[in-house]
A = this chain, B = another copy of it.
Amino acid sequence: MKDGLQMGKQSLSFEKPVYIMSSACIAGPKEGEGPLKDYFDEVVEDATLGKDSWEEGESELMKQTIALAIRKAKIKTEDVRYLFAGDLLGQLIATTFGVINFQIPLFGLYGACSTMGEGLSLGAMTIHGGYADYVVAAASSHFGSAEKQFRFPLEYGNQRPMSSTWTVTGSGAFVLSKDEGDIMITGITTGKVVDYGVKDSANMGACMAPAAADVIYQHLKDFERKPEDYDKIVTGDLGCVGQEILLKLLKDQGYDITNVHMDCGMEIYDDPEQDTHAGGSGCGCSAVTLAGKLMHDFKSGKLKRILFVPTGALMSTVSYNEGQSVPGIAHAVVIETKQ
């Protein structure tokens, strides 16, 4: 049903577009020294935001980012009907303690680093369905809390392989609405769990690339589009290792996205100077890049249409230590301006 609401097996095309009323992004100190620093709404100097732990700091980061997005949309907190939010921490504690004061009905999401795409997708479906006038989609990640949970204590100062990525300290939030604006979400393609059997948790790019390739391929099929129909196809945090695999996988399927591909993880840090190795990662990586740099490029007319494809690596220390592979998932969102 090409012109209908449902397209193909995995895609929706919104008859009435959903508008992005505002976006907000607050990033950490290291991100504030990177190439995207001028596009962040705020850069915090203290990664704990004055709290007692990395986790409380991440919650404060999401709290301030959501509050800023609501202010920029010129609406009241009570105008927001639903909150779609998630983070990387076990049981979403960054989100729980970050959103508690807003007292907005919450749909807690876990899509690993694809969560920003999952939230924008469900948020857009909710607005388009007439279930709400305003919703907020938000995601966060934090280097300190993520390293502590997934890898080693920071004090241990472990070496990091060149394939590893650096978890972005940052949060992005978006207010979605049916009120007409300049930037809109016109479609989504929802990803499946894809597992190529990669077991290296220090090579997330390789774990996630097959899921990104799968959802991008399905999107182009469902919408009957070519890569050139997009100014950019933006993956979340594949890094340079994952990018190579993604481009190869899609070429094998007949799509060459080389000229339009951009990976947020490869944009956010200045390597090798910032020594992050393969690039940035985390829910916050794609969230702050979209809310900052990409939204800016839409407003300045540099971008007309992108496919935003945050990528998630689905694993925990438990599944990893039990010898499980690290499957991936990715969710694609079509964002464009009126031509």
Q: How many copies does the complex hold?
A: 2
* CB atoms of A90 and B316 under 8 A apart: yes
- Taking CB atoms, residues of chain B closer than 8 Å to A110 are 86, 91-92, 108-110
* CB atoms of A109 and B106 under 8 A apart: no
* CB atoms of B55 and A318 under 8 A apart: yes
* CB atoms of B55 and A319 under 8 A apart: yes
| A105 interface neighbour in B89, B190, B195, Cβ under 8 Å | B190
- Give a binary string over A298-329; 1 marks a CB under 8 Å from any B CB, 0 the rest: 00000000000000001111110010100101
- Taking CB atoms, residues of chain B closer than 8 Å to A12 are 131
- Taking CB atoms, residues of chain B closer than 8 Å to A234 are none
Q: Which of A110, A190, A191 has the most CB of B within 10 A?
A: A110
Residue A274 at the B interface, CB < 8 A?
no
Residue A193 at the B interface, CB < 8 A?
yes
* CB atoms of B322 and A130 under 8 A apart: no
| A93 interface neighbour in B5, B91, B191, B318, Cβ under 8 Å | B318
* CB atoms of A108 and B118 under 8 A apart: yes
Interface stretch among A30-38, A120-128, A152-160, A254-262? A120-128
| A315 interface neighbour in B93, B121, B148, B193, Cβ under 8 Å | B93
A191-B131 contact in complex given A86-B110, A88-B91, A316-B89, C-beta closer than 8 Å: no
List 14 additional contacts besides A6-B132, A149-B318; criterion CB under 8 Å.
Answer: A6-B131, A9-B105, A10-B105, A55-B318, A55-B319, A86-B110, A90-B318, A92-B314, A97-B319, A107-B111, A107-B190, A125-B131, A129-B130, A129-B131
Contact residues of A with B, CB < 8 Å? 5-6, 9-10, 12, 52-53, 55-56, 78, 81-82, 86, 88-93, 96-97, 99-100, 103-112, 118, 121-122, 125-126, 128-132, 148-149, 190-193, 195, 314-319, 322, 324, 327, 329
Question: Which 7 interchain pairs have the tightest Cβ spacing?
Answer: A129-B129, A90-B90, A105-B190, A91-B316, A96-B314, A93-B319, A90-B316
